[in-house]
Amino acid sequence: MSQHEPSAFEMSLQSSHVILDSDDSDSDDDGAMGAFDDMINSATEQRAALDSHASLCSSCCPSSSSYHRFSSPESSLALSRRRKLALNAFVTLAVVMLGTIIFLVSALASSPSTSSPPSTPTPATVESLKSQSYLPPDRRNGVVASDNALCSEMGTAIMRDHSGNAIDAAVTTTLCLGVVSMASSGIGGGAFILTHSAETQSTAFVDGREFAPSASSPTMFSGMSERASVDGALAIAVPGELKGLQAIHEGINNFGGKLSWSDCVTPVRDLARDGFVVSSFLEDITRKQWSKILKNDALTKVLSRPSSDPNSTPTPIRQGDILKRPQLANTLTMIMEEGADALYKGSLAASLSSEIISAGGILTQADLAAYSPTIRDPINATVKGYTILGAPPPSSGGATMIAAARYIAGFEEPYGANFDTLSKHRTSEAMKHAFAMRMNLADPAFYDETNDVVRDMIESDYVDSLRRNFHSDDSVQPTGNYGGEKWAQLSEGGEGGGERRKTTGLNYLEDHGTAHLSVIDSDLNCVALTTTVNTEFGSGFLSPSTGILLNNQMDDFASEGRPNYFGLAPSPLNYPEPFKRPLSSMSPSIVLYDNKPRMVLGASGGPKIITATLQTFLNHALAGQDLFLANTSPRIHDQIFYHNELTCVYSEETLLSGAVIELPSSTKASMTSRSHVMTSASYLGCCQAISVDVDGLISAVSDVRKNGEPKAY
């Protein structure tokens, strides 16, 4: 027979007996016995009063003699015993009550229950991220939507606390992103910038895109590994972001910054010097790219957790760590005092170019001195009453987005955003036609034909002819039809006639090496700015003396016989040449209605920049979704080929928060029935957008796919 195990209640009682029966029970505890002495004395005084009352009443009320038992004399020993009994009774009562509570809790915990089990943390949903990533329509004086909360706030503070305008805020926010989101952007990269002046109603485009060093050639990567144009110093093109920022700050068309250049740079210099808290995104991307980071000692030092042991194995930074960038802070101090020329013509240029050449690159000090941004007119087209202002070549984004939007808007039925299967099919077909035409684009300074392609994509009825002649609501088209007779560049599974290219051997990888920010101020001046170092951490080369992480934009040029990192087909139009700017997918966009700003948007994500920006515009402007839903709805992406297959890519995205964005199965089934080959992807671009409604209420969203957060005042 098993031995009885005492219950929690019994154990508590046994414990109380141990305390009460100990030798110390004969000696008064000062605190406890003092309290009980007060209780006994009070009771004695009350009893004396009762005895007196009894003696007064005994003669007239014999029955009151019952009080006489309280009036018998007491010895000091009896009083001491009563005090002990009172103490024991008090403590025992307290212990019994505590034991009872423990017993009941224990019994309830061990007994079957019909109530609901304890609740577990609710898994993150896209809707649960709304309060962080979305600012609903309201009266606002200024808004910055970037993919980093700290930088959004820093840009907003420039307007709120220092009376800066949208351009001042854009300069500060962009430089901030280069410090805290170095995997995506920085002054070692390039940028496309759209600015819109509310006063003059003029829009300007600044091409701060990198260009190829003077020693570049079409065959410079021939015979090398596929990573030669991606990793290391040879992949570095001449950076342009800083020159582009200075150009918009100095002013274009009488519209520039209000604050001094130093005012815009100083808070970012201080941030790099004093340090910042590592975000979940930077932790995640650092961990994923750790093997690349370890190839460069300076970059490894910046992104490693501190250790007291110099011989310890480096470990990547984590969310919540404090990261400081002192070398970059020194560089920003010089830029703050001397302007962009500190990097392009000063002592920084000498040290930077020397380090690049020593590591096997070809970028010289003369290349840096030769760089200047190009001011261009934005391209524009009207879609359902909305005027889309986009980036011209060497951006392919503006023309490709507009061509796809015009294709979709030409159908009689309204565009359906709520996963309407026909609209998704039409959107996919529009993307394929637009990407096929994109293959004919290049730097217009080198190829005049580029302007003819753009004209057909945005101005003429060529896109309308594609919809009439090369579209079916029931099925996809043969590959060679995309782009139409004039601009088709692909054939079915092999070489085509004329300039048609091979469609075999293409690769497709993911991109997080870009950042976009949208800004609007109290006067409705707007800035849409997309900046990049190309792939994650660019070339992986960080200059030890300047703290600048350099781009790998040479991979955005085509190389004969192979696609680039993003799987985009090689084109002789886009082969590297001295001072040539590679084709880009960056798509900063400003949308007007009745000549007033209605949307400011753009994205990161390689070729998915174009399709993310497109679908956010379509969902909000044409389908009427609020900006949050328009931005977070599941997307598709179709650049014709994906992993060597004619494929439409769809959302199956698990975010850092654990939330999932996925295209409904019914939509996938309907697309498959129309002969789309469907492939899931974990990342379909990251779009930051601002909207102004007809009543002047401003809303903003920073894409949940990158844990961004807009700020406003």
- Spell out the SS3 assignment of 551-578: CCHHHHCCECCECCCCCCCCCHHHCCCC
In whole angstroms, what is the distance from residue 247 CA to residue 424 CA? 40
pLDDT-derived band of residue 124, with 50, 70 and 90 as boundaries? confident
Choice between 336 and 91, residue whose per-residue pLDDT is larger? 336
> What pLDDT score does 560 carry?
66
Residue 79 has pLDDT above 70, yes or no: no
Contact 206, 189 (CB under 8 A): no
Q: Which CA distances in Å does 529 have to 148, 149, 189? A: 14, 17, 13
> What pLDDT score does 473 carry?
95
Measured in degrees and rounded to the nearest 5, phi and psi for residue 310 equal -65, -20
Closest CA to 260 of 152, 337, 349: 337
> What pLDDT score does 327 carry?
98
What does the buried/exposed string (b/e) look like for 545-583 if buried means 16 or more CB atoms within 10 Å of the residue's CB? bbbbbbbbbbbbbbbeeebbbbbbbbbebbbbbebbbbb
Average pLDDT over residues 237-244: 99
Q: What percent of the chain has pLDDT over 90?
A: 70
Neighbours of 449 (CB within 10 A): 12
> What pLDDT score does 97 carry?
63
Average pLDDT over residues 417-444: 90
Closest CA to 589 of 441, 688, 493: 688
Give the strands of the sheet with 698-702, arranged side by side.
134-138, 698-702, 686-692, 596-604, 589-593, 386-390, 379-383
Q: Tell me: is residue 41 an annotated ligand-binding position.
A: no
> Mutual orientation of helices 347-358 and 326-338 as an angle, nearest 10°?
140
Q: Tell me: is residue 585 an annotated ligand-binding position.
A: yes
Choice between 644 and 585, residue whose per-residue pLDDT is larger? 585
Residue 428 has pLDDT above 50, yes or no: yes
Instruction: Kindly state the tokens that stand for 307.
Output: 């250790």
pLDDT-derived band of residue 688, with 50, 70 and 90 as boundaries? very high
pLDDT-derived band of residue 49, with 50, 70 and 90 as boundaries? very low
Cis status, amide bond into 136, omega within 30 of 0: no
Active-site residue flag, 156: no
Closest CA to 470 of 509, 429, 437: 429
Burial (CB < 10 A; 0-12, 13-18, 19+), residue 218, is middle
pLDDT-derived band of residue 643, with 50, 70 and 90 as boundaries? low
Give the strands of the sheet with 202-208, arranged side by side.
374-376, 202-208, 190-197, 526-532, 514-520, 143-145, 711-712
Residue 90 has pLDDT above 80, yes or no: no
The domain 162-275+324-380+389-394+507-712: what is its CATH number? 3.60.20.40
Note the residue count of the chain. Answer: 713
In whole angstroms, what is the distance from residue 544 CA to residue 538 CA? 16
> What pLDDT score does 572 carry?
76
pLDDT-derived band of residue 320, with 50, 70 and 90 as boundaries? very high
Half-sphere exposure of 324 (CA within 13 A, CB side): 8
> What pLDDT score does 83 carry?
55
Range(s) within the chain of domains with CATH label 3.60.20.40: 162-275+324-380+389-394+507-712
> What pLDDT score does 581 carry?
96
Average pLDDT over residues 540-558: 95
From 123-127, 287-291, 637-641, 685-689, the region with the lowest mean pLDDT = 123-127
Tell me the one-letter amino acid at 549.
Answer: L
Question: Which one of the listed residues 156, 203, 364, 514 is annotated catalytic?
Answer: 514
Q: Tell me: is residue 174 an annotated ligand-binding position.
A: no
Average pLDDT over residues 120-132: 81
pLDDT digits (tens, 9 = 90+) for 381-397: 999 999 999 999 999 99
With the C-alpha atoms ordered 273, 356, 606, 647, is the resulting torsion angle positive or negative? negative
Q: Tell me: is residue 161 an annotated ligand-binding position.
A: no
Instruction: Kindly state the tokens that stand for 611.
Output: 């399709």
Tell me the one-letter amino acid at 102.
Answer: I
> What pLDDT score does 85 carry?
55
> What pLDDT score does 47 carry?
43
Q: What percent of the chain has pLDDT over 70?
A: 77
Instruction: Kindly state the tokens that stand for 247.
Output: 């150009």
With the C-alpha atoms ordered 287, 293, 294, 300, is the resulting torsion angle positive or negative? negative
Hunting for tokens 């800004």 — which residue is that? 519
Q: Tell me: is residue 26 an annotated ligand-binding position.
A: no
Contact 428, 638 (CB under 8 A): yes
pLDDT-derived band of residue 656, with 50, 70 and 90 as boundaries? confident
Contact 658, 409 (CB under 8 A): no
Residue 161 has pLDDT above 90, yes or no: yes
Choice between 204 and 226, residue whose per-residue pLDDT is larger? 204
Residue 703 has pLDDT above 60, yes or no: yes
pLDDT-derived band of residue 92, with 50, 70 and 90 as boundaries? low
> What pLDDT score does 43 carry?
41
pLDDT digits (tens, 9 = 90+) for 455-506: 999 987 999 999 999 999 999 999 999 999 999 987 654 433 334 443 333 3
pLDDT-derived band of residue 251, with 50, 70 and 90 as boundaries? very high
pLDDT-derived band of residue 30, with 50, 70 and 90 as boundaries? very low
Half-sphere exposure of 126 (CA within 13 A, CB side): 19
Contact 574, 566 (CB under 8 A): no
pLDDT digits (tens, 9 = 90+) for 10-27: 444 344 333 333 344 344
Residue 109 has pLDDT above 50, yes or no: no
> What pLDDT score does 26 carry?
40
Hunting for tokens 């501190």 — which residue is that? 306
pLDDT-derived band of residue 107, with 50, 70 and 90 as boundaries? very low
Q: Tell me: is residue 584 an annotated ligand-binding position.
A: yes
